[in-house]
Structure 1
């Protein structure tokens, strides 16, 4: 028998013993939420609840396996033995299992295929080709962007046009075409007996509207536990509501102060409106922190207190007191980079291991100045949660335009700027490269494509010429001025049409402009950026400082943390 009183704090114990009915567990950072879920499941099993009557929903299969292992260890059982929590896993995993049994009710075969993102985009490209209008020079959204719009609409339970107006307004001019593509995409998937990841959830919800199916699973799942509830979307919340409609025993665990996935249609209102969605719901708070000192928690508490919509919490620690967080305002980003790099050098000279030092950034583009400063000082570093600034594709693109401007014999740069243009492949690009070497005047570069390219490739060449002309007409011919010209050229349209994260990419390029303002000479600037890229290849194999972690970082084990805003 598990000694729950001995092994849990009073807040966790309250959830474990009294988590019947609809319950919202507000678990502050580092408060042992996984431990609470594990012990709650173990408690139910000890009370004689059959494993198949418990539904445990997590956001990753790894989390589900970890919880099953911990529950098995508590109960002295193997998590892989038959009957060990058969209904535990992600929303998509649970949906797939149920749909495999009931797919014919929705007009699918039981042997339906699950499409990955590449499969989905391949079908969307076909749909787009049939519907795509003559855009009059304006780029049409790529299959990747179309997929993001359709996916958001499904997960947020919104109409496609509402999603376009609210989040993708730059594509409002193509609203009718995008709606047609979404409809054709649904038809083609059904025809192919295939579902994408979003369909697994959407079709499960449709299936649960069948009274017989809903009753089977609502009756079966006597106890439901959902992890990371703050990151659920409206579709997932609707599924849980159907599953819990008979017994109404649901424990939703999350933290409204840690919601970071709104770009994936996660809806914080699922937590904030929990008491409206589940009348009579009980609210539990896990406020004892096992990870941070009170000085850090005091700062976090004071910042979170400013949230307009929230459940009030006040975290407190079991750890000894530590140092107060310190604020060092700087006049500009260069000053901030100098300060942080000097701090890191100081820690290293004191004997702090490099992998015990971390820098956290609010946004990826904030890393650039510090990366340059670390390279300048010879400090190796790892970049977590993304790609180093000068290795990002769009930064390489912007630099490639400056490279062909500065050196028209630069084959690699020409290949890079031409290959993303419509109708230009390797063979056509090679023709341009061979011809452009013979051109002595900047103004005559624009004529090269007209001489060597076919009609199909002319479309892409004309787009490149618009970018080239923008650079030629730049009022400021410095590296910063040329990058700004690229930023205001059709290259911006390319980013917006191809990538869902185009705003972040554009912000990166604006940050490149800030860096370029330090140079008057384009050749010198390009040499410096090349040195930045080569530093990674030349870096040692030893330990590295660990900046920058993005805004999505949770937890972490570094002893020296610097926040850069």
Structure 2
């Protein structure tokens, strides 16, 4: 059988970011689907044609076509080079080859490029990140100056000594010696536990001891490589009534309710956004995939504006929902409506659907209301939606205890990057789990 839609999208995106064929990606990461690789290639062909006909690009296209444009059009390179005279790139170890090429082309005129990164911190190789970009930078920019930032302001020297010893074993590296002026002589402890249950019990007992000594739960974190690594621990924490929040699940923008709400705003900016139209129309009673496509085709053929969608000559059950939708579209189309007000209007319209579709609607309502404060920073809806599309925020609120201010943090390493706590446990620190077997 074919993979699920989300897996198909992941395979296609990986192939684009790593500049490999679908077969290459599937051989290494999805061998179970190799029997349908020809069907996958056919789907990719249809997908590309659909995007071309509907003037659509996905995020990978934005990178690929920008690189192609910069490579082949000297005039564009000159214009952008004059506009962006100083280029600074953070987390350079997490860039892929396409992004590295874009930086190189943008900086080809003036050579004013500063890249900040750590060759020991590449955590996005699964997305195509290539830490070798760090080592290739002086090759692309021969006059580059390498500045080592070796002083650490967060950790104690005992932790840094362990880190230095570990990274000295790397085959490819920039040689460096991390140090700190901070005090503290706590030595990292390595604890061997017999089973996963023993591990969970040890962590919980130690946390209870720390609480008895006056530590706060908010100052304690448990880190792991993958979300499922904490399941046994979550059960033990629940048994002991220790409140916790887990980070590292769905991203904020990937939640169904966020996508639903934003679909109502996207069609105001781009009335030809058939994906958003399909999403918001299928929320209405008596309108399924086939009927929603018929309405979209009718709007396109008859040049019907969003605010006149209630003129659809369908059955009465359909028109009831379309009348309310048309009213919202009319309000959102008003030129003077600021993004903040637009989000408020969309939430008011969408709330009944939210309550009907999700049992945990109070939490999801909170997340929707966060969009109001985000939108208040923008002067127009297009800028707001563009930023959400290109730099989507993440939110931990989805798994936070609603009525508790003090709770233990459970987090994947990816979600914990850049954060700090007074006490940290790293569980499943064994080969095959951390790092995983594929590393």
Give the equivalent residue in structure 1 for 2:227.
364
Give the equivalent residue in structure 2 for 1:217.
80
Report how far residue 174 of structure 1 moved. 2.0
Report how far residue 363 of structure 1 moved. 2.6
How does 1:252-291 map onto structure 2 within 5 Å?
A: 252-291=115-154
Identify the match of residue 243 of structure 1 among 97, 106, 113.
106
- Distance in 2, Cα, partners of 1:150 & 1:385: 23
User: Does the residue aligned with 1:386 lie in a helix, a strand or coil?
Assistant: coil
Partner deviation per Cα, 1:380-434 (whole Å, 9 max, x = no partner): 22212238xxxxxxxxxxxxxxxxxxxxxxxxxxxxxxxxxxxxx9xxxxxxxxx
> For the Cα contact (< 8 Å) 1:384–1:546, is it kept in 2?
no
Identify the match of residue 376 of structure 1 among 225, 233, 239.
239
- Distance in 1, Cα, partners of 2:106 & 2:202: 53
User: Does the residue aligned with 2:244 lie in a helix, a strand or coil?
Assistant: coil
Partner deviation per Cα, 1:301-359 (whole Å, 9 max, x = no partner): 22222323222221111212331112221122222212111110001111211211111
> For the Cα contact (< 8 Å) 1:256–1:271, is it kept in 2?
yes
CA RMSD of aligned residues (A): 2.3
Give the equivalent residue in structure 2 for 1:339.
202
- Distance in 2, Cα, partners of 1:293 & 1:186: 52
Cα distance change on mapping 1:194 and 1:330 into 2, 3 Å: same
Give the equivalent residue in structure 2 for 1:231.
94
- Distance in 1, Cα, partners of 2:74 & 2:15: 25
Report how far residue 281 of structure 1 moved. 3.2
How does 1:31-430 map onto structure 2 within 5 Å?
A: 139-208=1-70, 209-386=72-249
User: Does the residue aligned with 2:87 lie in a helix, a strand or coil?
Assistant: strand
> For the Cα contact (< 8 Å) 2:223–2:413, is it kept in 1?
yes
How does 1:469-484 map onto structure 2 within 5 Å?
A: none
Report how far residue 364 of structure 1 moved. 2.2
Identify the match of residue 541 of structure 1 among 388, 403, 413.
403
User: Does the residue aligned with 2:116 lie in a helix, a strand or coil?
Assistant: strand
Give the equivalent residue in structure 2 for 1:446.
none
- Distance in 2, Cα, partners of 1:303 & 1:316: 14
- Distance in 1, Cα, partners of 2:23 & 2:182: 51
Report how far residue 540 of structure 1 moved. 8.3
Unaligned 5+ segments in structure 2 are: 251-287, 289-398, 429-439
User: Does the residue aligned with 2:39 lie in a helix, a strand or coil?
Assistant: helix
> For the Cα contact (< 8 Å) 2:89–2:116, is it kept in 1?
yes
Report how far residue 280 of structure 1 moved. 4.2
Report how far residue 273 of structure 1 moved. 2.5
User: Does the residue aligned with 1:177 lie in a helix, a strand or coil?
Assistant: helix
- Distance in 2, Cα, partners of 1:213 & 1:543: 52
User: Does the residue aligned with 2:154 lie in a helix, a strand or coil?
Assistant: coil
Q: What is the TM-score normalised by the length of structure 1?
A: 0.47
User: Does the residue aligned with 1:371 lie in a helix, a strand or coil?
Assistant: helix
> For the Cα contact (< 8 Å) 1:297–1:316, is it kept in 2?
yes
**Aligned residue-pair number:** 279
Q: What is the TM-score normalised by the length of structure 2?
A: 0.59
- Distance in 1, Cα, partners of 2:31 & 2:141: 34
Work out which of the two has the higher radius of gyration on C-alpha atoms and give 1 or 2.
Answer: 1
Report how far residue 219 of structure 1 moved. 4.0
Give the equivalent residue in structure 2 for 1:528.
none
Cα distance change on mapping 1:142 and 1:540 into 2, 3 Å: closer
User: Does the residue aligned with 1:331 lie in a helix, a strand or coil?
Assistant: coil
> For the Cα contact (< 8 Å) 1:381–1:546, is it kept in 2?
yes
